[in-house]
Amino acid sequence: MSVTVRASAKINLHLGVGAPREDGFHPLDTVYQAISLYDDVTVSETDTDSLTVTGSAHVDVAGVPTDATNIAMRALAEAPCGSAHDVRIAKQVPVAGGMAGGSADGAAALLAHDRLHDLRQSDDLLLAQAARLGSDVPFSLVGGTARGRGRGELVEPIVDHGTWWWVVVPAAVGLSTPEVYRHFDRLHPDAPAEPAEPAELLAALASGEPVRLARALHNDLQEPAIDLRPELGDLIARGEAEGALRGMVSGSGPTCVFLCDSQEGSMEVLTALSASYDVVLSAVGPVAGAHVLG
């Protein structure tokens, strides 16, 4: 018997970052949105642990570890069960792209393990296991649109009355999340302890109006990401010139995402950017958190 769980990519509609805490993590006030790019993780019982990773053409499968350090394998080690597992990951989410693909796989493995062994653990227990795996992993379980605080692991669903159309442009080479946070610290040695709050963004989500949401998007990691990869600034300007309401770096980058006024609008921006960029995808949000398929 096997269980397949689907988990999505995330973007950060608001990413407020404060000065680093004593444990080295940065306090965040963020608004996550799950969008329609998915990783599928299939888990079955076996005699010895094994892992296979496959992916769409735009996914750098070689950048994903296939040993015990893979976050899906770490998730199974975290879960309370002694048996060995075969794990198959089919990736659509760009690797090291600022879209939490690893976190999606971790969340999917936790849920698949729970269902495979019919453990029926409480949401709180799964969320606590997820938080130990990484700051973004609890959101991958929850999905939808949600506010994240603490180091990002304290997640609370929020009101979102929109259907938001995104164009997604991944980069061929990823960016390291810790490196982008370190660069934020270099650029902002006097960052306030409290991260910026998303008040106007919350109102824009409740209104369902794309122009209002576009104005309220905010990412404190965009400046360090562009400083490390100046071409991302050119990409954002190009997408906006082609008709996107607003472009921004996704999380710590280097993927850039473009909010469009409608599905048709997103197809026009996708077509225009495809003339110059190898991989241009479209996605809609919000979508569900990690869920069993079939």
Provide the annotated active-site residues: 10, 136
- Residue 122, annotated as binding a ligand: no
- Residue 103, annotated as binding a ligand: yes
Q: How far is residue 45's CA from residue 3's CA, in Å, rounded to a whole number?
A: 10
- Residue 82, annotated as binding a ligand: no
Alpha-carbon distance values, 180 to 41, 42, 61, 113, 225 (Å):
28, 32, 22, 32, 6
Rounded to a whole number of angstroms, the minimum distance from the CB of residue 59 to ligand SUD is 15
Q: Taking CB within 5 to 8 Å according to partner kind, which of ligand ADP, ligand SUD, none is near residue 72?
A: ligand ADP
Task: Name residues contacting ligand SUD, limited to 132-151 (CB under 6 A).
Answer: 134-136, 151
Task: Name residues contacting ligand ADP, limited to 16-55 (CB under 6 A).
Answer: none
Q: How far is residue 34's CA from residue 175's CA, in Å, rounded to a whole number?
A: 20
Q: Could you tell me which of 4, 2, 1 has the C-alpha nearest to residue 292?
A: 4
- Residue nearest ligand SUD (C-beta atom): 251
- Residue 94, annotated as binding a ligand: yes
Q: Could you tell me which of 115, 127, 116, 136 has the C-alpha nearest to residue 15?
A: 136
71 interacts with ligand ADP by CB under 6 A: yes
User: Between 244 and 273, how does the x/- string for binding to ligand ADP read (CB under 6 A)?
Assistant: --------x---------------------
- Stretch binding ligand SUD (CB under 6 A), from 94-102, 195-203, 265-273, 279-287: 94-102
98 interacts with ligand SUD by CB under 6 A: yes
- Residue 104, annotated as binding a ligand: yes
**Of the residues 82, 178, 189, 230, which one makes contact with ligand SUD according to CB under 6 A:** 178
- Per-residue b/e over 90-121, b at no fewer than 16 CB within 10 Å? bbbbbbbbbbbbbbbbbbbbbbbbbbbbeeeb
Q: How far is residue 244's CA from residue 230's CA, in Å, rounded to a whole number?
A: 20
Number of H helices and E strands in the chain, helices first, is: 10, 12
70 interacts with ligand ADP by CB under 6 A: yes
Residue 193, phi then psi, degrees to nearest 5: -65, -35
- Stretch binding ligand ADP (CB under 6 A), from 19-27, 28-36, 57-65, 158-166: 57-65
Alpha-carbon distance values, 285 to 33, 117, 196 (Å):
7, 31, 23
- Residue 269, annotated as binding a ligand: no
Q: Could you tell me which of 161, 174, 137 has the C-alpha nearest to residue 39?
A: 137
Q: Which amino acid, one-letter code, is at 15? A: L
**31, exposed or middle or buried, with CB in 10 Å at 0-12, 13-18, 19+?**
buried
User: Between 206 and 245, how does the x/- string for binding to ligand SUD read (CB under 6 A)?
Assistant: ----------------------------------------
120: left (phi over 0), alpha (psi -120 to 50) or beta: left
64 interacts with ligand ADP by CB under 6 A: yes
Interface residue list for ligand ADP (CB under 6 A): 63-65, 70-72, 89, 95-103, 105, 174, 177, 252
Annotated binding site: 94-104
Interface residue list for ligand SUD (CB under 6 A): 12, 15, 25-26, 28, 30, 98-100, 103, 134-136, 151-152, 177-178, 181, 251-252
